[in-house]
Chains A and B, each alone.
Chain A
């Protein structure tokens, strides 16, 4: 049977959803902490807006770049612009990076579950069970991943809305004041940190080849980044307003703790963070799933004959072991920083490299 319109391909809207959820990832949970460390009071929002702005431009450039070769994979674009060996190196760079991201997500989920749901269950059990579910997801179809995104979107949006709306009553204005007391270095640092968070748009580099009608994709990618910018700004202000700057800087997952301050009066559940835990697990899961999928995809770009299922089975233990490397939260935080650093640099490197190669070649190869 011929594939139905919606079956084999993904649409612009799917990219929008994927970018949004992927940026949301694990960093949203810790972003207020990272920003609050560098800025005073609620000044971190400047960093978010600046970072978001830069990310918008980058996302647009990446989307435009990939659109020069519609429906072609990253590897074939790269080997066309810069020779094949370099393309192989670039592709594997991304493979390693996305394997690392997957591991990080797996570990973060278990950290979250360990901290808020159960303290006695071994970390390994939590991580492994999560990873196995991810493996189940990766083994399905790629278009299925995007359908999954769309299916999860209502849960994610409802969760985020709850996080933002419910603590509004607890905001103290003195926590938000004074404004603009941060030094220039603080702004630069916070901009950099938030840019790291936004680096999740990197997935369009790989997924845009699946878009059937990619004309509007750059716009959609930018929309996704912009949506997150606005969301982060609100979230940050609510978070600082509720906890104050110094408390936020010392909470490991300030966004999640935000939900724990609220009690629903007369509700069945005394703590509604159980619902939010669902939303966060879903967000982390989708992020992890897409990272794993890209890792598999990049390897398959180079080795075309490898079976997907074999690759997944090989990578799974590797990812599990990497995720178990960090000993505690401190090491985990460091790992997260290194990963986001490499993520951003590799993305910039690829953009600069490919774009300049394209300009040097004069854009003849269309």
Chain B
């Protein structure tokens, strides 16, 4: 496939310039063995070829040049014209079919056609010094190629919303070479979901992994609307150290028809049992451990078991961010200071102390 499309699991170099922040991170995590929802990036090269090959580049430059920064109406007018142009202009001949082929290939991974999310992945996004995140659009529950193709263009177009243009003007971000990648990603159909932290948040013990899990989409766990199953595992052995079954009375499930989430009661027999099998729990903990290793510090992850994917391949990592509360240097339980060591490096008096308990 050309440089216009990069699948997350293609092993491609996670180049920020080509993939944008979000897609680079998805590629990087996939390469590290973390199961992010499958999908592909429509790269900045695709965007560039589109705007250059269709003559849009010059048109955009001209429209932006007309803007009077103090006149909101002029910004809005330019924005609308640029976005209309992006959404309606034919793509160059050699790009035809590339997106379509990628979409079809993604769909072959599932039993049938599944909804996807289309998310913008700007090159300036998710960077430490640019709070640009969220300025561009994300579209959920899109079904069928025409919808997807249309919303890729809408993402591209969102690079030129009034807000985005104004933001760049205010922060003196040059318009030249501005580009954007777009993520086309399988929409997670969560049967079970939750969070996991690679330490014990109650005392900072880094030898533990704590998992909260409940039925359906994870929002109810995060917002505290249900009491999830709470499981503590030993990080090295991955065996359960402590287990509390939550009541999990309700669940949010995706409703593809309406493209939204539906809240419903959980039947009593599912409330009282752990919503993760041992194998699934083991997979969640292993994944959290892998994320910690990948990022080099304790992580707080969101995960889901996807109903559309086969067992064994259905665990998905939705988010991984550093755990900040307990990860400060020096945190963690500290036992009594070491006693003096004997010639073998072994502390006899330490042994005596542990024997007589003082």
Partners in one complex: no
Chain B contact residues, CB within 8 Å of chain A: none
